[in-house]
Structure 1
């Protein structure tokens, strides 16, 4: 059998924003098939069978035929291996838990060299999937069996676990995305910016930039929280701080048995031991609690089940109930073995944030050890057949009970959160029945937590999932507010002729309108007319800094064709998209672009991302530029130095800007009026027309436009 050399990966580029291929981030790979150019899938003996046996779902992938199973048909008919690699990578991502539906492979002008691209939410994950898919494909091509698909998937999944957002943060971001709110990840963890510039808010898991540091400090001090709640009439268990095991027992005697011992500043239930009835139990529980906090509290034991209620912006939006975890002895296996067999096999239990329930490890958990000791057992003991052994009290908080919450319970919980001062909080309460008022059953609120986990509400063991992220997004971005989508006006300018000057004039005009304008162009990065970095800010990573700044309420970006091809745009959508010309093909040979007629496909990206309530601004003196109007979701403003290219557009009621050599004319349908300037503009039409058209499309008045043109020269020289 012929042994083929590996497909060569010539260049791998992460496109962080909208690009030639898609609105979203993607990984573009240039690859050389070498001799395999002459060996499509149907010419490699047994290859299709080996491939579909290793990855059975491949045969059902959609492809060019537009229906499920299309790729399987292409494999049998014969398709080139660059295309096959695309689908192998996508399938590995699917199997690893990051579904990916988009991919394309296109030939280049060089024989055997292809451009392959696939949707990539994260560069590290995408590269891991590419590496594993490449290795797997070459083994299948050369019949190097067996192939370890599971190991490849695990490598990709590990990359996802290391790089991707936690489930709570990811859920909030997904809810924001549904609302059209953009996001930017600000670190390698879960700090995420929703929205842009002055309209942004930041989240860190379930904390927001509206979460009070003082309130968070109060919530972290359980004793202080209880005192404040008691003062406003919220039922809480009486308790005392105990500095030693002996003091803990004294406190228990004062309060009355049974009691609970817990750390004063712990979280997630760590170090909490319930239903203590003897001095030995209390003192042992103090030692466990002391390992998890700076102080130890002894509290009255409240009978009932533990409940966790999520409060967002002063309103209960979800509730979950806990239940005890038990095992049943078989006379053969130890407690630890029974826990592994009867509890930890639950697929919802695991070590990552994706698992709503944690794996139980009796030997490592002081609270479990204490409960076992009260039953006369250790983790290594073997319970008699049929004996039920309590492993964890109320640890399994994963039964949705949102619809059962009594209005009076909700009122008390909301009062507790207002008293602490948190905008988002998880409230732990103990009650026998969440459907009855707490006072009637001796129930009590035991903790108020900042930064609560959301997983119990997103993936309950029993009951309906609750899309609590929508409540958090609504809290930050009310739907009826002007800032509902978190977006500031963005203007993107694409072209090769005078594009830097166009960007600078546009920014100046917007600044005169009262905006705090950010500008990213070849001259640098500017805030309010002040250069903060002289780097070439057509680089997307540099330009994106404008979107992070809380000072900016409007931004202008210069985007050359090379920016779109090398990196993608710095933003996902814009209000105004400008295309001045289709020049520059002669500088893009590395992208296999050699002719001007290849440029519309590249520059249309700037029009593709215009919002529906925005506008595209196009140079009608170039028919190929004007033809890009069909790709704009918003309205279109044309500009020209010659009236004929504007005639049809104006006849249809469209807006246009024309320059007759001495005067600028603002045209709406068949009506037009001159822009009255104090002196003839010194700027060439190639700069003046697109910038003024963009500012006019944004809503600037003729008087402001004229003032901006009159003063720009002095501003630029300053």
Structure 2
């Protein structure tokens, strides 16, 4: 089982809960205690209804529901044609192009300002979804908040992947070297993509794949801050304001999903300004250690075993 399932299985076992592995490849398992049993796939369980799954799988639908509830979201439109996309890019100054469904940052291009980049971004997103979203690019720090049983539990800041120059290796060599380390430390869960999007980000900083990065110079190589694309994560649970906590809890109620990872962009973790950009129905709780996400997850499923 991967780390996202294993952390929950380990916590269940400490409470005398029986674990039955249903399908290891899919990280599917059943937890049994007394007369109760719950089927789980990592942090997704039978407690999450089909309607909540449907809403979270469609980023446009998630956006509309959050907006109608009074929660703050960036401006967004469904892609129709290039004329429309160019008009929005000029109106909003910069766009995020993303597939309407999908996860782990696949097919997302951030901070698109030029026509050629826009065409490539739409092509990339179309590989993952029939429908493509055009979203206003909002500057801010990337914050993932975990809500379990509709209560705030933990938060991390997610930072985009970067490399540090040694004065001798090319950027391509440095990315490959970092990927080798990431694969070893994360079991293959995280690595920097070597693709046209990474090349675009490098080019924006006036570098190419074959340039040698000066000694100790840091270079951001991704715009997305996803852990799976080589991003780093920092626990910021204690820094998150009451406003952000309550917004996350309200979002979980509005989406009718008891266990959810909500992605915010904020200028300051202790402030009141925010936009919510996505909701993840199967958040990776292992990414939030040392916060008690596994404990709160098992508390939610089997409150009678609460320590």
| Same structural fold, with TM-score higher than 0.5 when normalized by the shorter chain | yes
* Cα 1:170/1:262, change in 2 over 3 Å: same
Q: 1:475 aligns with which of 295, 300, 305?
A: 300
Once the 2 structures are TM-superposed, how far is the Cα of residue 300 of structure 1 from its aligned partner? 1.1
Q: 1:400 aligns with which of 230, 235, 240?
A: 235
CA displacement, residues 8-42 of structure 1 (integer Å, 9 cap, x when unaligned): xxxxxxxxxxxxxxxxxxxxxxxxxxxxxxxxxxx
* Cα 1:167/1:200, change in 2 over 3 Å: same
SS at match of 1:322: strand
Is 2:192 the counterpart of 1:360? Answer: yes
How is 1:33-48 mapped onto 2 (pairs within 5 angstroms)? none
How far, CA to CA, are the matches of 1:172 and 1:385 in structure 2? 42
How far, CA to CA, are the matches of 1:351 and 1:196 in structure 2? 35
Once the 2 structures are TM-superposed, how far is the Cα of residue 432 of structure 1 from its aligned partner? 2.1
Give the aligned partner of residue 373 of structure 1: 203
Give the aligned partner of residue 436 of structure 1: 271
Q: Does the aligned pair in 1 maintain the 2:153–2:292 contact within 8 Å?
A: no
How is 1:284-683 mapped onto 2 (pairs within 5 angstroms)? 284-329=120-165, 332-341=168-177, 343-344=178-179, 346=181, 349-350=182-183, 354=187, 358-362=190-194, 365-383=195-213, 388-393=218-223, 394-395=225-226, 396-438=231-273, 443-458=274-289, 465-479=290-304, 484=305
CA displacement, residues 628-671 of structure 1 (integer Å, 9 cap, x when unaligned): xxxxxxxxxxxxxxxxxxxxxxxxxxxxxxxxxxxxxxxxxxxx
Q: Does the aligned pair in 1 maintain the 2:261–2:283 contact within 8 Å?
A: yes
Once the 2 structures are TM-superposed, how far is the Cα of residue 384 of structure 1 from its aligned partner? 5.5
SS at match of 1:173: helix
How far, CA to CA, are the matches of 1:370 and 1:457 in structure 2? 30
Give the aligned partner of residue 89 of structure 2: 252
Give the aligned partner of residue 677 of structure 1: none
Give the aligned partner of residue 505 of structure 1: none
How far, CA to CA, are the matches of 1:366 and 1:174 in structure 2? 40
Give the aligned partner of residue 30 of structure 2: 193
- Normalized against structure 2, the TM-score is what? 0.89
Once the 2 structures are TM-superposed, how far is the Cα of residue 397 of structure 1 from its aligned partner? 4.3
Once the 2 structures are TM-superposed, how far is the Cα of residue 401 of structure 1 from its aligned partner? 0.7
Q: Does the aligned pair in 1 maintain the 2:161–2:232 contact within 8 Å?
A: no
Once the 2 structures are TM-superposed, how far is the Cα of residue 388 of structure 1 from its aligned partner? 4.4
Once the 2 structures are TM-superposed, how far is the Cα of residue 330 of structure 1 from its aligned partner? 5.1
Q: Does the aligned pair in 2 maintain the 1:243–1:295 contact within 8 Å?
A: no
SS at match of 1:202: strand
SS at match of 1:235: coil
How far, CA to CA, are the matches of 1:408 and 1:272 in structure 2? 28
Kindly indicate whether structure 1 or structure 2 has the higher relative contact order, using CA contacts under 8 Å at least 6 residues apart.
2
How far, CA to CA, are the matches of 1:206 and 1:449 in structure 2? 10
SS at match of 1:392: coil
How is 1:162-201 mapped onto 2 (pairs within 5 angstroms)? 165-189=1-25, 190-195=27-32, 198-201=35-38
Q: Does the aligned pair in 2 maintain the 1:324–1:390 contact within 8 Å?
A: yes
How far, CA to CA, are the matches of 1:328 and 1:397 in structure 2? 14
Once the 2 structures are TM-superposed, how far is the Cα of residue 246 of structure 1 from its aligned partner? 4.4
